[in-house]
Amino acid sequence: MEFDETTAVKFINDRLPEGVAPYPDDEILNVIDMIWDFYESNGMLEIDVDDDDFADDVELDLIDYVTKMLRRDKEANINPDHIPAIVRAELQYENTLLDS
């Protein structure tokens, strides 16, 4: 299965904490872009990369990176408290692609 942005946005918004309204697509896509920028800048998108070359859990690094980048993005409207849930949901979405 291939990564689909529309499906990813819906998947992520569906997994936000109870009582949190869904974010607009462009806000979630901005976070997805940041996650993939992190992967690229850390060599995690190379075809010949062995998964064992990287720490099994990059979740905290991703959360820190996205938080830092969103602070710099003056047009972003994501509550910093929601960043961990958004990043975790994106990672869960990626895992559904691996399971397919």
The CA–CA distances, whole Å, from 39 to 9, 42, 43, 77, 91 equal 19, 5, 6, 23, 12
- Integer Cα distance of 49 and 25 in angstroms: 31
* Token pair of 93 as six digits: 């979405």
Q: Helix or strand or coil: residue 70?
A: helix
Residue 47 CB: number of other CB atoms within 10 A? 4
Binning pLDDT at 50, 70 and 90, where does residue 34 land?
very high
- What global pTM score does this model have? 0.88
- Taking 50 as the threshold, does the pLDDT of residue 44 lie above it? yes
pLDDT confidence of residue 40: 92
